[in-house]
Amino acid sequence: MGVRKKNTSETIKANKKKKALAILKKCPTSPRKMRLIADNIRGMNVNQALNSLKNNPKDVALKMRKLLLSCMANWQAKNEDKKVENVDLFISEIYVDSARMLKRIQPAPQGRAHRIRKRSNHVTMVINELNSNLVKEK
């Protein structure tokens, strides 16, 4: 393996160790409701996001909080030598995709039927360490 290729592979490996990923699949709430919460916590510090989700009255916030705790546990599993409390983590990416839709029928006047779409979603969350370079740029 060449020197350049080896160096780039090592930097990619080091960057992957700083990130952690958690995915929530087939959550039976509409993506629109989930995106409201996701937009609020995107880019936040992990501790701030946990407090924000804890105080949010929506049912979706509980599921999002569980996902964030899972993501933190995944980061802890990758970095056993560090503690979550001592490292400055933030939510670098969070996105909500629509999942399978259950289609139901509701009777309508004059023998017709209206379709009810029961939506569900997938949520992907990535947390990352806050580097000193990022702090200087802000």
- Going along the chain from its start, the domains and CATH numbers come out as 20-129 (3.90.470.10)
Model's pTM, two decimal places?
A: 0.85
Give me Rg for the CA atoms of the chain: 20
Q: Quick: pLDDT tens for 48-83.
A: 999 999 999 999 999 999 999 999 999 999 988 888
pLDDT confidence bin for 132, thresholds 50/70/90: very low
CA–CA distance from 118 to each of 27, 40, 43, 115, 121 (Å)? 11, 24, 30, 10, 10
Q: Quick: pLDDT tens for 76-126.
A: 999 888 888 889 999 999 999 999 999 999 999 999 999 999 999 999 999
